[in-house]
C-alpha cells in the first residue's frame, strides 16, 4: 500500500534561510546583475525572499522555501505573482533563471566553457 503523506509548511524541516540565501546569492551572482535578500518582506523558518535583476534588466522577487523557488513578484519586494500552481515552482535557482533569463544561460555556459578549457 502506497503511503501518501501531505507535507504542510508547519511540517517542514526548519532551515536557516538566511544562510541558505547567502549561499544561493554567492552561487548565482556572477550570472545576474543584482541579487540580495529582501529587507522589506518578512522571512521566517519556512521561507525567505530574494530580490533579483537579470542580465536583461528584468527585476523580480523570488520566494525561496522547502518547496523550491518561485517568482513572487515582478518588482523588488512584491508578492503579487505568488500562485499555488506547482508548475510555477522550480527545484533550483538555476532552473528558475534558465526560464527567465537568456543572459543567465549564456553567462553560465561561457563560465562552464572557460572552466573546461582550463582543464584541457
Task: Spell out the per-residue pLDDT of the chain, length 120, in tens.
Answer: 444 444 445 555 668 999 999 999 999 999 999 999 999 999 999 999 999 999 999 999 999 999 999 999 999 999 999 888 888 999 999 999 999 999 999 988 888 888 788 887
* Structural domain contains residue 5: no
* Structural domain contains residue 97: yes
- Reduced to 3 states (helix: H, G, I; strand: E, B; else coil), residue 19 is helix
Question: Shortest CA distance to 35 belongs to which of 2, 66, 69, 1?
Answer: 69
User: Cα separation of 21 and 11, whole Å?
Assistant: 21
Greatest alpha-carbon pair distance for the chain in Å reads 52
* pLDDT at site 114: 81
* Structural domain contains residue 38: yes
Read off the CATH number of the domain in which 83 is found.
3.30.2280.10
Strand pairing class (34-37; 47-53): antiparallel
* Structural domain contains residue 28: yes
Name the residue range of residue 41's domain: 12-119
* Structural domain contains residue 104: yes
Contact between residue 32 and residue 104 where contact means Cβ atoms under 8 Å apart: yes
* Structural domain contains residue 4: no
* Structural domain contains residue 37: yes
* Structural domain contains residue 21: yes
CA 86 to chain centre: 15
How many structural domains compose the chain? Answer: 1
Amino acid at each position: 500500500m502506497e503511503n501518501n503523506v501531505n507535507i504542510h509548511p508547519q511540517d517542514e524541516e526548519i532551515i536557516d534561510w538566511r544562510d541558505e540565501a547567502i549561499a544561493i546569492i554567492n552561487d548565482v551572482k556572477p550570472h545576474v546583475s543584482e541579487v540580495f535578500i529582501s529587507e522589506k518582506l518578512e522571512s521566517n523558518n519556512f521561507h525567505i525572499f530574494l530580490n533579483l535583476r537579470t542580465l536583461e534588466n528584468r527585476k523580480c522577487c523570488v520566494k525561496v522555501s522547502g518547496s523550491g523557488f518561485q517568482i513572487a513578484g515582478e518588482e523588488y519586494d512584491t508578492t503579487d505573482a505568488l500562485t499555488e500552481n506547482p508548475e510555477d515552482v522550480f527545484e533550483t535557482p538555476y532552473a528558475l533563471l534558465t526560464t527567465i533569463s537568456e543572459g543567465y544561460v549564456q553567462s553560465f555556459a561561457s563560465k562552464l566553457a572557460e572552466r573546461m578549457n582550463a582543464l584541457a
